[in-house]
Amino acid sequence: MSIEKEIAKRRTFAIISHPDAGKTTLTEKFLLFGGAIQTAGAVKQNKIRKTATSDFMEIEKQRGISVATSVMGFEYNGIRINILDTPGHKDFAEDTYRTLTAVDSVILVVDCVKGVEEQTEKLMEVCRMRKTPVIIFINKMDREGKNPVELLDELEEKLQINVRPLTWPISQGMNFKGVYNIYSGQLNLFESDQTRITENFIELQDINSPELDRWIPSSFTKQLREDVELIEGVYDPFTVENYRNGSLAPVFFGSAVNNFGIRELLHTFLDIAPSPSEREAMQRSVKASEPTMSGFVFKIHANLDPNHRDRTAFFKICSGTFQRNTFYFHTRLKKKLRFASPTQFMANEKNLIEDAWPGDVIGLYDNGNLKIGDTLTEGEELQFRGIPSFSPEIFKEVINRDPFKSKQLDKGVRQLTEEGVAQLFMQHGNRKIIGTVGELQFDVIRFRLEHEYGAKCDFMPLRYCKALWITSRDKDQYEEFLRRKSPVIALDKEEHPVFFAESEWMLKVAMENYPGVIFHETSEFK
Ligand code: GDP
């Protein structure tokens, strides 16, 4: 098949949500729908099985969250769907942000009872920054939630994006009757079923047709007609173009656990979601259809078996065809590497593959050559953009507890931070400061340092609340700043200077006093 055809049949996306909104349930229903799994419960069962096999993952199990981001691929109606799973827990937000750099679009799940939650806002901020097309799925309509019109207002206000409902719920909670598909004029009646996909829908030519009243009580039809009229009047018409450029989010209503509204969502998603197109590198923009292979690493996953310290790098193909056992150019190390056993993830299985195309995510066995953000090409000097680090919120200094193991500690800290577990900042030679978005990572780091590297450490809390990357607007002033603030300046993994702020107020003062210094919220700036 030609590369254009392979690209056109691929959809690579992530389902994101605040924990408990229904991301796992929706993922599972998609797999069920695609025939990739046979029974409901398989996705969760898989999580539990995995955790039972390793001590480290025991941490995850105890806290009931998913640390790992995995990939699930399946074919549906001739389309190759790659779902990148993301941890919902706040403490692993950085992992999720990085995964978002590898997708072409996103489905955002919102709980209709809770509305827009804290994590939803943060995730949407990352999507907005990258202009990622977003579809919103309002879940749990079988519960008494917020009024749908108010929910739409809340989405627009809190997520700062224009929305356009494409389906509309007919009542909700106990009275939930179904959804009306505004886009196609189909009526889908609600029948609670958690294990099968029901195909119970009725096609209507016109929402005003008396046919509607045959299926649902007149009190509900009246409300539905009024609602739909209101929507058509208030919201701009839906255009695929506005969705794809990230300025308009279509909204669907349903109930994931009951398989309801999933069909409308999946079908519209397949119709409108973008295939891989192009991606920005420092040097130029790379089109997916270019014949030569290029791609980047967005995640590194340590082997769960501590006796084998090898790792799996998750590699997203951006252009050309990736082939097994072929030499590729590692642009940071300037050396050629070849991979004898690249794997692809189909539903719950991992398979060896011979080749892969743009949009695909493959697992590369790595023994220390690959870092997050690394680019592989067929020889061209390229570095893909878009894996920025965001400022951590909690900072602690690493204190070695076993002086005989300082080499192991250094190595462990370096490797774990390369995996993206946390950010490492170095100060005055060998003082190590670790920055994270949540306390949980410190437990993970301590545990893994001890079990995988045989090193023991303590963490001493520091009073900083934010790290900002700094560059110069005025050389003299910049150098004076570095000198005067040296106790609160450190270097990140690329040896770029960062400034630790103890409070927003201190940051404001520094900005006012040093207009010659530019402060950046993320590590990537032009
Ligand atoms: P995640 O943390 O976002 O992955 O959320 P889960 O998919 O694990 O769902 C969280 C809880 O909400 C589970 O107990 C689900 O069974 C439940 N849930 C998911 N979808 C629905 C729904 O449509 N209606 C109701 N009532 N509960 C749901």
Task: In whole angstroms, give the CA distance from residue 107 to residue 138.
Answer: 10
Q: Determine the distance separating the centroid of ligand 1 and the alpha carbon of 158, expressed in angstroms.
A: 22
Residue 45 has pLDDT above 80, yes or no: no
Beta bridge partners of 314: 299, 363
- Is the C-beta atom of 259 inside 6 A of ligand 1? no
Q: Determine the distance separating the centroid of ligand 1 and the alpha carbon of 26, expressed in angstroms.
A: 8
Q: Determine the distance separating the centroid of ligand 1 and the alpha carbon of 19, expressed in angstroms.
A: 9
Q: Does domain 1-274 have CATH number 2.40.50.140?
A: no
442, 94 in Cβ contact below 8 A? no
Pick from 248, 300, 378, 252: nearest CA to 102 = 300
| ipTM topping 0.90 | yes
Confidence of residue 108 (pLDDT cuts 50, 70, 90): very high
Residue 40 has pLDDT above 60, yes or no: no
Residue 526 has pLDDT above 90, yes or no: no
Confidence of residue 475 (pLDDT cuts 50, 70, 90): very high
Of 306 and 79, more confident? 79
Q: Which residue has the tokens 């993301």?
A: 86
Q: Checking DSSP bridges between strand 294-302 and strand 375-377, what pairing results, if any?
A: antiparallel
Across the range 136-154, mean pLDDT stands at 95
- Give helix 42-52 / helix 55-63 axis angle, nearest 10°: 130
Average pLDDT of the chain is 86
Of 306 and 502, more confident? 502
Q: Determine the distance separating the centroid of ligand 1 and the alpha carbon of 25, expressed in angstroms.
A: 6
Predicted pLDDT at 41: 54
Of 61-65, 366-370, 405-409, the range with the highest mean pLDDT is: 405-409
Of 312 and 230, more confident? 230
Residue 60 has pLDDT above 50, yes or no: no
Task: In whole angstroms, give the CA distance from residue 255 to residue 263.
Answer: 11
137, 254 in Cβ contact below 8 A? yes
Confidence of residue 146 (pLDDT cuts 50, 70, 90): very high
Token pair for residue 367?
Answer: 């023994």
Q: Please identify, by atom number, the ligand 1 atom nearest to the C-alpha of residue 28.
A: 7
Residue 54 has pLDDT above 50, yes or no: no
pTM: 0.84
Residue ranges matching CATH 3.30.70.3280 in the chain: 392-525
Token pair for residue 522?
Answer: 């993320």
Lowest mean pLDDT among 19-33, 88-102, 142-156, 165-179: 88-102
Nearest-CA residue for ligand 1 atom 11 is 20
Residues in binding site for GTP:
17-24, 85-89, 139-142
Task: In whole angstroms, give the CA distance from residue 449 to residue 447.
Answer: 6
Pick from 273, 266, 222: nearest CA to 249 = 273
CATH architecture assigned to 392-525: 2-Layer Sandwich (3.30)
Q: Which residues contact 131 (CB under 8 A, 6 or more apart)?
A: 245, 246
Pick from 272, 278, 281, 202: nearest CA to 242 = 272
Tens-digit pLDDT profile for residues 255-314: 998 888 888 899 999 999 999 999 999 999 999 999 999 999 998 877 655 556 678 889
Predicted pLDDT at 58: 52
Of 65-79, 174-188, 239-253, 417-431, the range with the highest mean pLDDT is: 239-253
Task: In whole angstroms, give the CA distance from residue 242 to residue 272.
Answer: 11
Of 62 and 436, more confident? 436
In this structure, which long-range contacts are made by residues 148-154, counting pairs with CB atoms below 8 Å and at least 24 apart in sequence?
A: 148/112, 148/172, 148/227, 148/253, 149/227, 149/230, 151/110, 151/112, 151/115, 152/251, 154/115, 154/116
Helix or strand holding residue 432 (H, E) = strand 431-436
Confidence of residue 79 (pLDDT cuts 50, 70, 90): very high
Predicted pLDDT at 28: 85
Residue ranges matching CATH 3.40.50.300 in the chain: 1-274, 277-375
CA torsion 509-510-516-521 (nearest 10°) is: -110
CATH architecture assigned to 277-375: 3-Layer(aba) Sandwich (3.40)
Predicted pLDDT at 417: 87
Residue 200 has pLDDT above 80, yes or no: no
Predicted pLDDT at 272: 95
Predicted pLDDT at 36: 62
